Structure 1
C-alpha cells in the first residue's frame, strides 16, 4: 500500500530525496552519539571524586551544557531536512557508537573515556560530511564542521588533564 502524500510532504531543498534522507540518517547517528555523550558526561559530573574534583566537576558541566545545546541544533537540522529526529533511549542506543560506562570509573579513567568518546563523535560527523558535500548541503556541512571543531578541541583539553 502506497504511503498517502499530504500537502507539505514534498520538500524541494535543491537536493534529491535520497540525498536528504541519507544526510538526515547520518545526522540521526550524530544526534545519538551527542546525546549519549551528554548523558555520560553529566553522569561523570555527578559522580567524579578525588583531588581533581572541583576542576573536573566544572569542566564536565561546561561540556554537558555545550552538548545539550548541540543536540537541539542537530535535531532541528534533521527536521529542516524533512525527516523525524530520533528522541528515545532505545533509538539512541541503536544508533550511537558511544557506549555507557560500567559503574563509576576513577576520575582519570572518566577523563580518558570522555576524550575517546569526543573523538568518536568527530568520526561520526566526519562520516556524514561527504554526503552533505556531495549534495551541496552547506547548512549541514557548516554544522558538521562546527561540531568537529568543538569535539576535537574538547578531546585535546581532556587529554591535557592526563599529562
Structure 2
C-alpha cells in the first residue's frame, strides 16, 4: 500500500472505532431513558426509546465487523468505549421526558455527523462496502431524530 492509502485506511479504522464507541454510548443512553421515562407520554416514549435502542444496538456488530474486515482490532472494553465516545453519559434517572427527548435529538445529531465523517473516510480509503452501508445507517439516525423531534414539536 502507498503511504496515502495506508493513512486513509488508518483514518477509516479510527472513524469506525469512534462510530462504534458512539453507538454503544447512544444505545446505553437510549436504554437508560427507556427504563426511566415517566409522565403522560410514558407508554409512547417507553416503546419509542426501546425500538430505537434495539436499532442502535444492532448496528454495533455491523460496525465492529467492518473494522475487522478492514484488518484491524475493535474496541475491547467499556473503558475503551468511554474513552472514545463523543456522546456523553447521562447518569441522572430523574430527567423529564422532554429533557430526555431533547438530549437524544442532540446525541443522534452528533451521531449523524460521525456517520458522515466515517463515510468520507471510507470513500478516501476506497472501502466501497463501508461507504455504501453507511447510507442506510444515516437514514436510520435521521429517522430517529425526526421521530424524537416530532414528540417535542
Q: TM-score, normalised by structure 2?
A: 0.92
Which of 53, 66, 77 is residue 64 of structure 1 equivalent to?
A: 53
Choose from 120, 130, 147 the match for 2:137: 147
Match of 1:123 among 109, 113, 132: 113
Q: Which has the larger radius of gyration?
A: 1
CA apart distance, 1:21: 2.2
Unaligned runs of 5+ in 2: none
Larger helix proportion, structure 1 or 2?
Answer: 2
Q: Aligned pair 1:16/2:5, yes or no?
A: yes
Residue-pair matches, total: 150
Moved runs in structure 1, 4+ residues, more than 6 A?
A: none
1:106 aligns with 2:100: no
Distance 2:120 2:60 in 1: 21
Mapped to 2, the partners of 1:87 and 1:41 lie a distance apart of 21
CA distance in 2 between partners of 1:79 and 1:18 (Å): 17
Q: CA deviation at 1:71?
A: 0.4
TM-score (norm: length of structure 1): 0.87
> How far apart, in 2, do the equivalents of 1:54 and 1:43 lie?
15
Alpha-carbon offset, residue 96 of structure 1: 0.9
Report the equivalent of 1:74. Answer: 63
2:40 alignment partner, SS class: coil
Cα-Cα RMSD? 1.5
CA deviation map 1:19-65 (0-9, x unaligned) = 22221110000000011000000011011111100000000110011
